Amino acid sequence: MTSIKDSLYSQPLGQVNGFAFDENVAQVFPDMIQRSVPGYQTIIAAIGLLAGRFAKPQSVCYDLGCSLGAASFSMRQNITVENCRIIAIDNSTAMLTRLESILANETSRHSTVIELQCADIRDVVIENASIVVLNFTLQFLPVEDRKSLLAKIYNGLLPDGALIISEKLAFDDARQQTLQIDLHHAFKKAQGYSELEISQKRTALENVLIPETFAQHQQHLKSVGFSSAELWFQYFNFASFIALK
Ligand code: GEK
């Protein structure tokens, strides 16, 4: 995927507006997420392996909050069963228009199709799912809407289906919370972001990205019926976990 360098927060902004997945963000998104989320590429690659394991014939694999479809492409590359389709959903028209054109320009044919839906994931139907991916999406929903989405996913999953959730985490322990945030900022500095970029982006994400602790996620997942939910990856305050139906 071609990527323009993210410099959206490099100049002082008089007022920092709340972060939105608009055209400016969509344009630089691959660079932005890679340089902002520790372990992003590792997680994308692992989602492919997980899809290879969990995708069942005649079932649906959902990519909820797909952005430019990185998780969908990784799943498609690894799915070997017949008649499986991927449904990639996002409510940002800027993201989905780009993804639509990426798919339209593909030259090779694939037996697993990627279908796009421009919709709010809180409003869509989830059914006949063998694997559902929420890769850094749940954190953008109001906290009070998260449990009903998880319950809908649980109900739409086939027996033995899996939900993969990746999130920025919060920590109950104050020192741990400060340390992990500092380490994330050190990661961003090492990726070439300036102090100004880091601080303006942090302001933009305040009240937009609301992290919860892993214990809270685990509790929500168990309360809607998942039999287990365990971490498979963590890099500072960014983590990915697998919940099993
Ligand atoms: C990846 N999964 O590259 N309904 C639909 N989409 C939503 C909603 C909603 N209610 N809220 C937010 N989004 C991707 C990365 S980015 C994560 C996901 C990040 C969408 C939003 O438009 C954006 O495209 C995505 O969720 C979050 O694997 O930027 O940190």
Residue 3 within any structural domain of the chain? no
Separation of 65 CA from ligand 1 center, angstroms? Answer: 4
> What is the mean pLDDT of the segment spanning 127-137?
98
Residue 181 within any structural domain of the chain? no
Residue 73 within any structural domain of the chain? yes
Model confidence pLDDT, tens digit, residues 28-79: 999 999 999 999 999 999 999 999 999 999 999 999 999 999 999 999 999 9
Distance CA 80, CA 130 (A): 13
| In the predicted structure, residue 1 carries a pLDDT above the cut 80 | no
Separation of 134 CA from ligand 1 center, angstroms? Answer: 8
Residues whose CB is less than 8 angstroms from the CB of residue 198 and which lie 6 or more positions away in sequence, other chains included: 185, 188, 189
Residue 7 within any structural domain of the chain? no
Separation of 24 CA from ligand 1 center, angstroms? Answer: 15
Pocket test for ligand 1, best of 1, 36, 90, 153 (most atoms within 8 A of CB): 90
- The CATH number that applies at residue 101 is 3.40.50.150
pTM of the model as a whole: 0.96
Parent domain of 160 = 40-170+208-244
| In the predicted structure, residue 183 carries a pLDDT above the cut 80 | yes
Residue 80 within any structural domain of the chain? yes
Taking CA atoms, 187 is separated from 6, 43, 148, 190, 195, in Å, by: 16, 17, 34, 5, 12
What is the four-CA torsion angle of 234, 63, 209, 44, rounded to 10 degrees?
Answer: 30
Residue 12 within any structural domain of the chain? no
Separation of 121 CA from ligand 1 center, angstroms? Answer: 10
Residue 53 within any structural domain of the chain? yes
> What is the mean pLDDT of the segment spanning 151-165?
97
Evaluate: CB of 71 within 6 angstroms of ligand 1. yes
Nearest CA to ligand 1 atom 26: 65
Residue 29 within any structural domain of the chain? no
Evaluate: CB of 62 within 6 angstroms of ligand 1. no
Model confidence pLDDT, tens digit, residues 76-114: 999 999 999 999 999 999 999 999 999 999 998 889 999
Pocket test for ligand 1, best of 67, 120, 209 (most atoms within 8 A of CB): 67
Domain tally for the chain? 1
For the CA of 168, the nearest atom of ligand 1: 30
Evaluate: CB of 91 within 6 angstroms of ligand 1. yes
